[in-house]
Structure 1
Amino acid sequence: MSLCRPLARIALLSLIPSCAAFASEEASYAIGAGAERMPSWMGSRDHRIQPLPYIDITLPDIGELSTADGLTVDFIHGQAWHGGLYGNYLWGRTSDDLGALGGKITSLSPRFLGGGYVEYEFSKQWTLGSHLSHDTGGAGAYFAVYADWKLPDLGYIEHSFEFQWEAMNGAAMRRFFGVTAAEAERIGTQAWRPAAGGEQAYVEYDAFIPTSQHTGFALSLNYGRLLGDAASSPLVRRYGTRTQFSQSLAFVYHF
């Protein structure tokens, strides 16, 4: 599960693929609705289905607003370099999401992230980028490096892969994967105070399957593995899994 995309990632964040990946240099607009099957909480082995809106507005040299990739406002407009402000939405976890752990470990409210991003476009097929952001409601900081690879079209189907590595500072790690002494006593594990470091790596397959000139289905399959102190958390080792798999599908109208 991506921090924001899933997430990524993260959504902050839906994981439905962005039509911007297939956009031309002209402005594009897309709206729709769909659903995502995602881990119930970051590190969970159980899943939940989340209805999601789909919005993707791309304005060349200005920015993008997307339920998949968040908000970007461009300040770098080079031939290959692009960059500027970045914002996204980060999923939390409710007592219902936690299932048997509800009331035993802390529920987490959703948060907004704000920061910056930079990308380098090697070609129309390959893009490498990163973004650094901070939790606007707390002390968490998040960093990601990603690569996008646009595949040759399959007939009318446009599709791509994304590879992403994500890291958190200590505050963010402890928020999602830490276990206090009181929580450890309630769930029968040891306390856990993770440090900053890599949190997850994932590969995502996105496809846009047109059904008419202005409509189509947006599909996303995301396979991730938790890393380091995140994977070693007692929450993950005893009640979850380091393998995180998400799928989403949306019906989209674009113009």
Structure 2
Amino acid sequence: MPMIFSFFDPRYDQDAKPSMLFCLRQGLPPMPTSLLQPRLSCRVAVAVLALLTVSIANGGAAQTLSQPMATSSTSTSNSSSLPSRGRGFLAQHGVMLGGGVYVAPEYEGSDKVEATPIPFLMFNVGERIVVDPSGVEVTLMNRDALSFRMSGRYEPGRKEGDSAALRGLGDIDDSARFGATLSYEIETMELYGTVETDVGGSDGTQAIAGAVFKCTTGRLLVTAGFSATWSDDKYMSSYFGVTSAQSARSGLATYRAGAGLKRADVELAATYMFDDHWMLRGQVGLGYLLGDAADSPIVKREAQPNAVFLVGYRF
């Protein structure tokens, strides 16, 4: 699956230099397909924004109730300060709003690309938990250059209605995807390894290994990376195999896809900070399907290009 764009970490030091506003939270992991579902991303963003709004209101109300009765002039002063309280709450939790467009194949292996709008909302809970439309990530260890994180997210699977080429293959059910990532930084390079398992859907497991190279000049961050993805039998048979029943419905030849290297990816990205709040991100990548995945009759083209363009605002 195409690689995700990297955002600056919501846990950064407010007084740090622009180059410190960024972090490769998971190296260059697969793009969560939940981000490619506009309706789902919109619902998640709206729900989280509503929760934050209620929290801000409750915080303001709690502060008001905890104070003794004041004169009307003091009350007026407190009312005028409510917006700053709300903004302080958003800044405290590293809230970031953004949106843009993601361009990628209709499904993994397709020869047709489509553009998908991406609404985005991200915030942190304390210093170790980050929540975004793709799910939740928890940093369990961050010692010197070594970091260990665990994540959980919703994966919508694959629908045969996603492309005419998938008709007759049936749907792959939604799943919960749990992952663990170990990364190590060496100056301007980060090495990482990720293992992810689906509960539901394919019930498969994938392992991703890769490296990211970073170069910062002023307010511009440029990154380049590569990765390789291995998938087990369950994942490969679900997404690239063709059973006899599927063959009869789709007209494709029966095919058994076994475990092995699924794809290799390269990526180039640039992020520019206009100031301490506004940022612009552009990213292009190219994946190439390998082994049994490349030989599947479902795959129409081995080369899988993708691109991300977005604007973000951090409070």
The two structures have a TM-score, normalised by structure 1, of 0.82
Whether contact under 8 Å (1:30, 1:56) holds in the other structure is yes
- Ranges in structure 1 where 5+ consecutive residues have no aligned partner: 16-25
What are the residue-to-residue correspondences of 1:207-218 with 2, within 5 Å? 207-218=270-281
More helix per residue: 2
Q: Distance in 1 between matches of 2:223 and 2:125?
A: 21
Q: Label 1:60 to 1:146 Cα distance change in 2 as closer, same or farther (>3 A).
A: farther
Indicate whether 1:147 and 2:211 are aligned. yes
The one-letter code matched in structure 1 to 2:249 is: R
Residue aligning to 2:104: 38
The one-letter code matched in structure 1 to 2:146 is: W
- Give 1:66 shift: 4.2
Q: Label 1:128 to 1:8 Cα distance change in 2 as closer, same or farther (>3 A).
A: closer
Residue aligning to 2:82: none
Q: Label 1:8 to 1:213 Cα distance change in 2 as closer, same or farther (>3 A).
A: closer
Whether contact under 8 Å (2:194, 2:209) holds in the other structure is yes
Encode CA deviations 1:186-206: one digit per residue, 9 max, x unaligned: 333321111111111101222
Residue aligning to 2:307: 247
Residue aligning to 1:50: 116
Q: Distance in 2 between matches of 1:149 and 1:67?
A: 26
Q: Number of aligned pairs?
A: 237
The two structures have a TM-score, normalised by structure 2, of 0.67
Q: Distance in 2 between matches of 1:172 and 1:147?
A: 24
More strand per residue: 1
Identity %: 26
- Ranges in structure 2 where 5+ consecutive residues have no aligned partner: 6-27, 37-91
Q: Label 1:119 to 1:59 Cα distance change in 2 as closer, same or farther (>3 A).
A: farther
Residue aligning to 1:129: 192
The one-letter code matched in structure 1 to 2:294 is: A
Indicate whether 1:9 and 2:30 are aligned. yes
Whether contact under 8 Å (1:205, 1:222) holds in the other structure is yes
Q: Distance in 2 between matches of 1:249 and 1:93?
A: 24
- Give 1:27 shift: 7.8
- Give 1:223 shift: 0.6
Whether contact under 8 Å (2:29, 2:208) holds in the other structure is no
Name which one, 1 or 2, has greater alpha-carbon Rg. 2
Residue aligning to 1:174: 237
Whether contact under 8 Å (1:11, 1:67) holds in the other structure is no
Higher relative contact order (CA 8 A, sep 6+): 1
